[in-house]
A = this chain, B = another copy of it.
Amino acid sequence: MTGRVLLTGASGFIGRAAIGPLCEAGFEVHAVARRHVDAPAEVRWHRVDLLDREQMRVLVNVVEPSHLLHFAWYAEPGKYWTARENLDWLGASLVLLQAFSRSGGRRVVMAGTCAEYEWKDGLCDESSTPLVPSTLYGMCKHALNEVLGVYSQQYGLSSAWGRIFFPYGPHEQSSRLVPSVICALLQGQPALCSSGEQVRDFIHVGDVANAFVALLGSNIDGAVNIGSGQGVAVKEIAERIGARLGRPDLLHFGARAATEAEPPFVVADVRRLEQEMKWRPATNLDAGLATTIDWWRGELSRRSDLHPLKHRSERK
């Protein structure tokens, strides 16, 4: 499995984690991002604004990638669920898809989201769970996947769509659940949580990245859930962090109201991942939280701009 891959969102939470696995898999990696991040020296960086159609077309025509791994999207915590920018990124992704296909690209994998599913269903299955996104973010991703499917059929492109569940790990935005609890406790501050009954499918970002690289290297078609298949209550995540840091006393459950939109149970059915792709996550929750805590310990010693009390749940 080799090829020349264009990786978008390469400085983002998941994109940056995909760089190493892509190199290991033998890809010539062309990373597109607004800024460089630590990466093997052989990675080629392209500082391109993907919302600028001309810049994007020039980039694709110059690189002539055989593979496309598309993570770039608007991802501002607290805003991205409803932001108008979702329309811009849907539009930009359509331009990218067309440019990639026209320049001779063969295999494309794009990042979807579990928010495409009707969440009241609970266990989310690619083939039977209704796709009724309640947010503009979920709907724009869903619309992109639908167009990708028909476009691929009509133009002989091989394509897949990874629906990401609840990733955590190094480089996550600090206002989100796992980082905000870790940072609060590391700094001896109280962590104000909701009651935390809601169950989610958490998966380490390294596993998410590995799954996408495996998907890119396969010829699997259509949507594939990228999750662990294991449901864990948000409260349990916080308690595990509390226990590991010896500060369970700082966890205040019920101090925040759960938002109405938070469904009780969102977990991936991972049969496609396990049975068709023969892939399983390598990192269990305890090991994943341990490395994440270590990473934040280092980060806190370097950064002074992290205010742990401001976390939002972001539907986790």
Give which listed residue, B98, B135, B146, B149, contacts A150 with CB less than 8 A: B135
How far, in angstroms, from A102 to B88 measured CA to CA in the complex? 14
**A155 at interface, CB cutoff 8 A:** yes
A48 within 8 A of B: no
Q: How far is the CA of A140 from the CA of B155 in the complex (A)?
A: 15
A193 nearest CB across to chain B (Å): 27
Q: How far is the CA of A146 from the CA of B95 in the complex (A)?
A: 19
Say whether B87 contacts A147, CB under 8 Å. yes
Which residues of the other chain, B, contact A136 by a CB distance below 8 angstroms? 147, 150-151, 154
Contact status of A150 and B155, CB under 8 A, knowing A94-B87, A98-B84: no
Q: Does A143 contact B (CB under 8 A)?
A: yes
Residues of chain B within 8 A (CB-CB) of A133 are 150
* Distance in Å: Cβ of A239 to nearest Cβ of chain B: 35
Contacts of A101 in B (CB 8 A): 84
Q: Is the CB of A98 within 8 A of B87?
A: yes
Docked-complex contact B143 and A147, CB < 8 angstroms: yes
Question: CB of A90 within 8 A of chain B?
Answer: yes
* Distance in angstroms between the alpha carbons of A90 and B150 in the assembled complex: 14
Say yes or no: is A222 at the interface (Cβ < 8 Å to chain B).
no
Asked if residues A87 and B140 are in contact (CB atoms below 8 Å), the reply is: no
Task: Assess whether A91 is interfacial by the CB under 8 Å rule.
Answer: yes
